[in-house]
Amino acid sequence: MATHWLQPRVDSNIDAVEWVTEMTTWSSPNMTERIIGNITIEDTFKISGQLCVPPRGARSDVLQIATHGVGFDKRYWDVEVKPDQYSYVNAALSEGYSIFTYDRLGTGASDKPDAYDIVQTTVQVEILRQLTSLARSGKPVSSSRNTSGGSAKGLDRYTPSKVVHVGHSFGSIATLGLLTADGAASDGAILTGFLYNDQLSGASVATWGFEFARHNDPALFGDRPSGYIVQATKSNTQLSFLKKGSFKPELLDYAWDIRQPNTVTEFLSIRQVLYKPAPDFKGPIQFFIGENDYGFCAGDCRGTYNATAIKMDLYPAASDLSVYLQPGTGHGLALSTNATEGYKVIFDYLHSSGL
């Protein structure tokens, strides 16, 4: 089920700026007032994914399904610059886990349908739910490889015994939506680049400097229709994802090179997922966020949250709830110099939880 929204169309850079203004003006209609009606979507979409299974992995029966956030595609998880230091895919495989990464609808090599009525948060949640169901049933995915590269024979028969969901930013929000919609679908959740806290309302689309994707870079984004927007400059990417002193310039270059548009409705529909309890989720859940995350903590996450209240109010049946602040780090964990240390924290938490 999707929603038809009252919002400005974006068909130019001028429209993109006006959309941001409309979304952030204090007297503009709120989310509830923008709902025109519900839409039933009965369609099939191509989702590009990659399944990696270590040939002798100690935990290869545990599958991590990683959902990227706004501004990127699945390449966020598999950084090509010094991958031994930055690639989450490599780190997970080294720990013996299997991992599935994919391009969310509207990004990368996945389909790019209507930005207003189709590519929105609740639809991304349902796609994640369906991908999880396919993974648990052992159905093949679009591509696969082992740690040596190339096509991995037999991966179309891979069936995990447990599934851990890993998200970044908007991908964490989509994961939270999954826990609400079907808590039994996940054995554990790692939410990076997101935290429920008293600065969350300060997260603003104004920091992105959005432009209409097709006009921002016709060569890269000429296939994006109306309503697809992208960060305008490399400096906007730095503001959104990186903290000075915690990244190398080549990682900012990489983030800019792999940038991806998102749709205006993905932002508008986020509140349909946030603050929804997940009473049926019984696994462990870790919120992992950079200490200096600008988008979700206004630059300083310290003292902005109550882990006990988050668990009681939203995840009462969770076996454990943990909040970890990565010191001196911005929003983009995989792009930061202490990425490897951060991954160790995540894996230690999963190990301590029996995953």
Contact 134, 19 (CB under 8 A): no
DSSP E strand boundaries for the chain? 2-5, 35-39, 49-52, 59-67, 97-102, 144-145, 162-168, 188-192, 210-212, 228-231, 262-263, 284-290, 320-326
Q: Residues 125, 174: contact at Cβ < 8 Å? A: yes
Q: What is the pTM of this model?
A: 0.94
Both tokens of residue 64? 């991590």
Radius of gyration of the chain (CA): 19
Give the three-state DSSP class for 229: strand
| Mean pLDDT of all residues in 235-239 | 94
CB 183 within 8 A of CB 84: no
Question: Mean pLDDT across the stretch 3-25?
Answer: 94
pLDDT in tens, 110-160: 999 999 999 999 999 999 999 999 999 886 554 444 433 333 434 467 899
- CA dist., res. 97 & res. 91, Å (int): 9
pLDDT tens string 51-109: 999 987 789 999 999 999 999 999 999 999 999 999 999 999 999 999 999 999 999 99
**pLDDT of res. 156:** 60
What is the pLDDT, as a whole number, of residue 45? Answer: 95
Tell which CATH architecture fits domain 2-9+30-198+264-352.
3-Layer(aba) Sandwich (3.40)
Report d(CA 119, CA 125) in Å as an integer: 11
| Domain range annotation of the chain | 2-9+30-198+264-352
What's residue 158's pLDDT?
85
Report the 10 Å Cβ neighbour count for 255.
26
Please tell me the distance from the alpha carbon of residue 271 to that of residue 279, in angstroms, as a whole number.
Answer: 18
β-pairing, 228-231 with 262-263? antiparallel
